[in-house]
């Protein structure tokens, strides 16, 4: 089991804390549309404020590619956070430099300062040592709750953390929660263990797929990923999304004699357009599919069989939707899986942006054991990859 220093082991009183979070939240018309990632940091934030720490919050938003771009400013996040904690949140127009340092040092006990987007500096993603030193000037202690970025060796995640003595850097409560739950997958003891994997492509999920085939008792495949497996088995799928480059990988996985039983859809929901279909029908796998039709969801027979397998599970890991769930005609599979996962009475962990959206939309989010804030990070973790942002916090 991974052991890390935790925020409650730090001497916080009066100290300035560099608090790295994942506030890479959905935005629309300059406002935050989903506050989940902010909400998840509030226990750590409250704990530090109660102990009169002075908190400098650092985060990134979007992909500004190392350039200042107001579209990716964290100012709307500052406003949302201030409302949520009912405290004035100070603002620094840059994440480094004399102004940011002065504002950090001027914070009163329990005060909060939010820095502008770290990724306005190209040095952040390059883990530049000089940039890390500038970040280090801001605070006495380092606390990391940005599990969503833990798979990235960036300056605010690794470079600056390494500049603090081990006794002065720690994981926040969210990071600890993520690690505790995800280790229930990598060290699974409650079986049957069912993994549900979906999304558009196999590419980017090869390692998690191979890991789940070795770890799980059942692996349920949906989404565009399922199309690629079905194509590898010789099925003609019309205009369906098929990850052609991953066909050899799919063939290899199908042929592997590993622990898990791999389950593929037995029927599909087809449409002539994934966003605004004018023609929708359900067919069994192996049926003829027209050249202008595409598979966009799992069908009712597959839903029934997947739900039956999930009903007996003791541990569940789900990443990726079963179809184009944003379109009403193709949402049934994903929403049915969300319901089955929530009703299984199992330790259930959902990771990945689209899966999280689907669970929230289904109305069953409060029945899921843990909804991970890190899609890519959670996938890499369950694949057995060492995450740089976790390794730098490890003890023992």
What pLDDT, on the 0 to 100 scale, is given for residue 353?
66
Selection from 218, 171, 231 nearest residue 314 by Cα:
218
Rg of the chain over all Cα atoms, to the nearest angstrom: 23
What pLDDT, on the 0 to 100 scale, is given for residue 383?
85
Selection from 365, 323, 305, 320 nearest residue 341 by Cα:
365
Percent of the chain with pLDDT over 70: 99
What pLDDT, on the 0 to 100 scale, is given for residue 376?
82
Domain ranges in the chain? Answer: 7-176, 188-382
CA distance 314 to 188: 10
Q: What's the CATH number for 7-176?
A: 3.40.50.1260
Any bridge partners for residue 55, and if so which? 17, 112
- Per DSSP, the three-state class of 197 is strand
Selection from 189, 181, 203 nearest residue 318 by Cα:
181
Beta strand 218-221 with 261-263 is: parallel
| Domains 7-176 and 188-382 belong to one CATH topology | yes
Spans of the chain, pLDDT less than 50: none
- Residues involved in catalysis: 37, 201, 353, 376
Topology of the domain covering 188-382: Rossmann fold (3.40.50)
Q: Position of tokens 């057995």?
A: 384
Percent of the chain with pLDDT over 90: 81
């Amino acid at each position: 089991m991974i052991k890390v220093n935790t925020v409650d082991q730090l001497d916080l009183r009066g100290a300035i804390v560099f608090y790295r979070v994942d506030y890479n939240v959905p935005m629309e018309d300059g406002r935050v549309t989903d506050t989940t990632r902010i909400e998840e940091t509030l226990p750590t934030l409250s704990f530090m404020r109660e102990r009169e720490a002075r908190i400098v919050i650092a985060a990134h938003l979007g992909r500004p590619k190392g350039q200042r771009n107001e579209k990716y400013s964290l100012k709307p996040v500052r406003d949302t956070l201030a409302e949520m904690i009912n405290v004035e949140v100070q603002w620094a127009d840059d994440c480094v430099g004399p102004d940011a340092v002065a504002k950090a040092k001027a914070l009163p006990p329990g005060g909060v300062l939010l820095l502008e987007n770290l990724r306005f500096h190209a040095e952040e993603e390059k883990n530049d040592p000089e940039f890390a030193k500038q970040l280090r000037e801001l605070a006495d202690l380092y606390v990391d709750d940005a599990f969503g970025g833990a798979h990235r060796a960036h300056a605010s995640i690794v470079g600056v953390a390494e500049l603090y003595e081990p006794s002065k850097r720690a994981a926040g409560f969210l990071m600890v929660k993520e690690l505790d739950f995800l280790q229930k997958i990598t060290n699974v003891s409650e079986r049957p263990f069912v993994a549900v994997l979906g999304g558009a492509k196999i590419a980017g999920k090869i390692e998690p797929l191979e890991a789940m085939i070795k770890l799980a008792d059942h692996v349920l495949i949906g989404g565009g990923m399922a199309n690629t497996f079905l194509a590898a088995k010789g099925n003609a799928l019309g205009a369906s999304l098929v990850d052609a480059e991953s066909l050899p990988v799919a063939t290899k996985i199908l042929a592997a004699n590993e622990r898990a039983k791999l389950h593929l859809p037995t029927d599909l929901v087809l449409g002539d357009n994934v966003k605004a279909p004018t023609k929708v029908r359900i067919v069994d796998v192996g049926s003829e599919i027209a050249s202008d039709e595409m598979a966009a969801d799992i069908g009712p027979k597959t839903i029934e069989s997947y739900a039956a397998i999930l009903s007996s599970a003791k541990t569940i890991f789900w990443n990726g939707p079963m179809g184009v769930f944003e379109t009403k005609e193709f949402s049934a599979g994903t929403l049915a899986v969300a319901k089955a996962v929530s009703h299984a009475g199992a330790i259930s962990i959902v990771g990945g942006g689209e899966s999280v959206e689907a669970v929230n939309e289904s109305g069953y989010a409060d029945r899921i054991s843990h909804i991970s804030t890190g899609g890519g990070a959670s996938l890499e973790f369950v694949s057995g990859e060492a995450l740089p942002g976790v390794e730098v916090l490890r003890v023992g």
